[in-house]
Structure 1
Amino acid sequence: MRLTRTAVLAAAALALIARTAVSATASAADLPAPHHDGAWTYRSPAPIGGALALGGFSDLVPADSSGREFWTVTDRGPNADAPSDTDKIFLKPDYTPQILRIRLTRGGGIEVVRRIPLRVPHGRTDPVTGTRFLTGLPPAALTAERPVDLAGRVLPNDPYGLDSEGLVRLPDGSFWISSEYGSSLLHFSAAGVLDTVLVPAGSTYSAPGVRVLPVLPAVEAKQKNNKGLEGLTVSADGRTLYAAQQTQLSNPDSKAAKKSLVQRVFRIDVSRTPRLTGEFTFAREADSATDGGWATSAIDWLGPDRLLVEERDALRPTVHTRLFEVDFRSATDLHGTRWDDPATVPALELDPSAVVPGSKRLVFDAASAGLANGKIEGVALLPAQRGAVELFLVGDNDFGVDSVKDGAVVPNNAVSRVDRYTLPAGTLSLSRR
């Protein structure tokens, strides 16, 4: 009997779950109860033009050990879905993504204490802004997504543009940012100046004055539009990046992506010239509620090849946001194998049982913890007393934009908010070595 692709995929998914040493399906009732310590809200966001205001916080990195100051990054700017699946409406096409240092105030507010707008290399000019400030408009070489304005007019592409999502800060003060465009990683100086972009092998991407390195495997280019690399973290010594896909690869096609449980994580040595040193998988939870729409927007480093990995919905407040400790130390390293070849058939996404994924352990369930925030895109950890761990969560409010209807913006009334929980001792093993 010849099995259909759907049947093969379903059987392989079941095999993957069976092979994964995982308590991912454990009930949240089995977890030590976290304590909600408070919430902080960005109450008076700075205007960025017209009725639009600063927002879109897409990651969270401790700026020090106080638990009061953090770095975050805004995404590409206020945007909305267009009637065509290949188009995206940009409400402020000249918006420059920014790295922000924020402070959680004693009155429950969020204060922006420093803004670092991202810029193109010295001696260069961004073709959209006519200045050194770059935009969130897509580079044509990295995505098929077409930018349009409110009237549906096609906007220019920006070779320096990025859809900024994940953020890390290195010991020298410089930053790495993950971008969903084509799956890419960008390095910026402490002053926000772009110098290096990591792209998939075979990419035709280039930008004047920028060092472009084809570090990622070619298969990573098979991401859906706006679903590239999002989660980003770095080891305690600042030498090793880990980058996670937002969703599964469309490999060999988008139908496979909806049903696949395979999600990839890349390990990259950035201590000298960046190079890929590892590529692993983990098994996502089976998502029947949103037809494969759950996403991984945040990861955090726990120790060598151990990560805190998020799986979330996009609802406000969230119904499904879970954090897992994922251990890749015994997982199959895909780097340099046939699974990196886009022409490989069958694809790993159709035969996930061919490799050993990282083992998973549920450590936090937002719904059972009563989290009133949603679309969580940033997670930060700090050690607390007697083995406890402080967990900070930030939601992306999409600059307050829900959609566009009849040429007008429909607001979502969401705010930028940070929540803090204390995870009791024994919940999470957090290494600082």
Structure 2
Amino acid sequence: MRISRLLPLAAAAAVALAPTAAGAATAAPVHDGTWTYRDPAPLGGGTGLSLGGFSDLFPADDSGNVFWTVTDRGPNADAPADTDKIFLKPDYTPQIMKIKLRKDGSVDILKQIPLQVPQGRRDPVTGTRFLTGLPPAALTAERPVDTAGNVLPNDPYGLDSEGLVRAHDGSFWVSSEYGSSILHFSARGVLQSVLVPAGSAFEAPGAEVLKILPAVEARQKNNKGLEGLTVSADGRTLYAAQQTALANPDSKTAKKSRVQRIFRIDIGHRTPAVTGEFANVREADSATDGGWSTSAITWLGPDRLLVEERDANRPTAFTKLFEVDLRGATDLLGGVWDDPATTPSLELAPADTDGVVPGAKRLVFDAAAAGLANGKVEGVALRPAGHGAAELFLVNDNDFGVDGYANGAVVPNNAATRVDRYTLPAGTVSFGR
């Protein structure tokens, strides 16, 4: 069978410049604020580690000073075996937090919401209401081990929380890297439901498990599932983006493919439903040899998103934000590209001829060109700033200060958690309703 191919992208906008509606170039972004999480709270348990791992930003009000964020699965490090991951505090509970950016340049934590298993249940690892960041075996083949190499138990409720949005009713939606999954928590952090791929064996006792994502989504590379998450202004539509390309058909494809899938999900009714699936073609990544990630997306308007593409360097060498317009893109939902048997896969389709139309891209922000002295940006928030300008907020994931584990000790990365603000001049982005 002859497979359709992806159309080429339009030429990117000039670095650090964005076209206005009239086609003229605006001035460069202005860096006008930095806030640092000073003296982070210790994690305890004899680890010597401190709170960090901030993995998203979501405005808590209209002030531009208060945000929601979420930590990831907890401090961890690469193990000698590629299939293993060392958990430095296996009982760590990921948490949602409300933070404030203070006038003195500090980040203050106003509220902490540790994530909990469904009402009436207990987590089999902790024996309490609080879940862990240990992987659920049904969503990933990654094996958890302790610092001595001993295999740790899987947690059916475990998640590697990455993307966060707060719904109009005060509840939270969280995307997890452990497979393509999205979890819904109450305002108090109690797990209510989970969205996973069709055919998945995943179950979370006491929670509603909705197997509504395309079956092909189960082919994510270990711990490289859905990460970017955002919601429409009316609170009725989620958008979720893969961290990297699917391992479809194999891990080599995940490393080399430029195709990223983005999903549109209706949450305005009693039962969520996937209503669209689109392709975004990332930039060429020869410099990092497949090390690119999308950790954050932000809603700009119906089927228009701000999408991050980044490396994991500190400071960043490649972190760019693109407006991705999906309104003219091909809806792939339910078609041949969702069938794991389709050969070649969408991830292998060349991006130089006709066929599937990806989202149209336009460069909005180049972190390196703008002088951002930070790295591993995993949270992005955007708000109108008056007169057509916009404020862009970026938070890094400092990995709880861990760079690795060697010779019986943590190798620190000395990276602080910080939020940076840039003002984007008028014409850089537009907001819709």
Q: Which residue of structure 2 lines up, in the alignment, with residue 369 of structure 1?
A: 370
- Partner residue of 1:43 out of 38, 53, 62: 38
1:262–1:352 Cα contact (<8 Å) kept = no
State the Cα deviation string for residues 261-285 of structure 1 (Å, max 9, x = none). Answer: 1100000001120110000011100
Note the 1:387-406 alignment, pairs <5 A: 387-406=388-407
Q: Which residue of structure 2 lines up, in the alignment, with residue 182 of structure 1?
A: 179
Determine if the alignment matches structure 1 residue 27 to structure 2 residue 15.
yes
Letter in 2 for 1:334: L
1:41–1:109 Cα contact (<8 Å) kept = yes
- Partner residue of 2:285 out of 281, 284, 287: 287
Letter in 1 for 2:392: L
Letter in 2 for 1:23: A
- Partner residue of 2:237 out of 228, 237, 240: 240
Note the 1:304-343 alignment, pairs <5 A: 304-343=302-341
Q: Which residue of structure 1 lines up, in the alignment, with residue 203 of structure 2?
A: 206
Mean Cα deviation higher: 387-396 or 349-358 = 349-358
What is the CA distance between 1:26 and its match in structure 2? 3.7
Q: Distance in 1 between matches of 2:205 and 2:8?
A: 47
Q: Which residue of structure 2 lines up, in the alignment, with residue 5 of structure 1?
A: none
Gaps of 5+ in 2: 19-25
1:24–1:324 Cα contact (<8 Å) kept = no
Q: Distance in 1 between matches of 2:204 and 2:66?
A: 34
Q: Distance in 2 between matches of 1:256 and 1:134?
A: 33
SS of the equivalent of 2:347 reads: helix
Q: Distance in 2 between matches of 1:23 and 1:427?
A: 17
What is the CA distance between 1:27 and its match in structure 2? 3.3
Letter in 2 for 1:60: L
Gaps of 5+ in 1: 1-7
Q: Distance in 2 between matches of 1:308 and 1:232?
A: 11
What is the CA distance between 1:25 and its match in structure 2? 6.2
Letter in 1 for 2:122: T
Q: Which residue of structure 1 lines up, in the alignment, with residue 23 of structure 2?
A: none
1:23–1:362 Cα contact (<8 Å) kept = no
Q: Distance in 2 between matches of 1:81 and 1:19?
A: 37
2:16–2:29 Cα contact (<8 Å) kept = no
Q: Which residue of structure 2 lines up, in the alignment, with residue 277 of structure 1?
A: 275
Q: Which residue of structure 1 lines up, in the alignment, with residue 155 of structure 2?
A: 158
Letter in 2 for 1:263: Q
Q: Which residue of structure 2 lines up, in the alignment, with residue 230 of structure 1?
A: 227
Q: Which residue of structure 2 lines up, in the alignment, with residue 422 of structure 1?
A: 423
TM-score by length of 2: 0.95
Note the 1:110-189 alignment, pairs <5 A: 110-189=107-186
Letter in 2 for 1:379: V
Q: Which residue of structure 2 lines up, in the alignment, with residue 300 of structure 1?
A: 298
What is the CA distance between 1:28 and its match in structure 2? 3.3
Q: Which runs of 4+ in 1 moved over 6 A?
A: none
Letter in 1 for 2:96: I
Q: Distance in 2 between matches of 1:191 and 1:271?
A: 21
State the Cα deviation string for residues 81-116 of structure 1 (Å, max 9, x = none). Answer: 000010000000000000000000110000000000
Letter in 2 for 1:411: P
Q: Distance in 2 between matches of 1:130 and 1:258?
A: 38
How high is the sequence identity, in percent, across the aligned residues?
75
Q: Which residue of structure 2 lines up, in the alignment, with residue 105 of structure 1?
A: 102
Q: Which residue of structure 2 lines up, in the alignment, with residue 267 of structure 1?
A: 264
1:56–1:396 Cα contact (<8 Å) kept = yes
- Alignment: residue pair count: 419
1:82–1:88 Cα contact (<8 Å) kept = yes
Letter in 1 for 2:43: I
Q: Distance in 2 between matches of 1:385 and 1:28?
A: 21
State the Cα deviation string for residues 9-59 of structure 1 (Å, max 9, x = none). Answer: 9xx9xx74x633x33364335663001111000011111113111100000
SS of the equivalent of 2:254 reads: helix
1:24–1:285 Cα contact (<8 Å) kept = no
State the Cα deviation string for residues 212-246 of structure 1 (Å, max 9, x = none). Answer: 00111011111111111000000001110000000
What is the CA distance between 1:352 and its match in structure 2? 4.6
Q: CA RMSD in A?
A: 1.5
Q: Distance in 1 between matches of 2:210 and 2:101?
A: 37
2:15–2:366 Cα contact (<8 Å) kept = no
SS of the equivalent of 1:323 reads: strand
Letter in 2 for 1:330: G
State the Cα deviation string for residues 280-308 of structure 1 (Å, max 9, x = none). Answer: 01110010011111110000000000000
SS of the equivalent of 2:43 reads: strand
What is the CA distance between 1:355 and its match in structure 2? 0.8
Alpha-carbon distance change, 161 to 381 in structure 1, aligned in 2, over 3 angstroms: same
Alpha-carbon distance change, 234 to 29 in structure 1, aligned in 2, over 3 angstroms: closer
Q: Distance in 1 between matches of 2:197 and 2:156?
A: 16
Q: Distance in 1 between matches of 2:364 and 2:179?
A: 31
SS of the equivalent of 2:195 reads: strand
SS of the equivalent of 1:369 reads: coil
Letter in 2 for 1:55: G
Q: Distance in 1 between matches of 2:14 and 2:258?
A: 18
Q: Distance in 2 between matches of 1:363 and 1:48?
A: 37
Q: Distance in 1 between matches of 2:424 and 2:365?
A: 8
2:247–2:253 Cα contact (<8 Å) kept = yes
Q: Distance in 2 between matches of 1:299 and 1:29?
A: 20
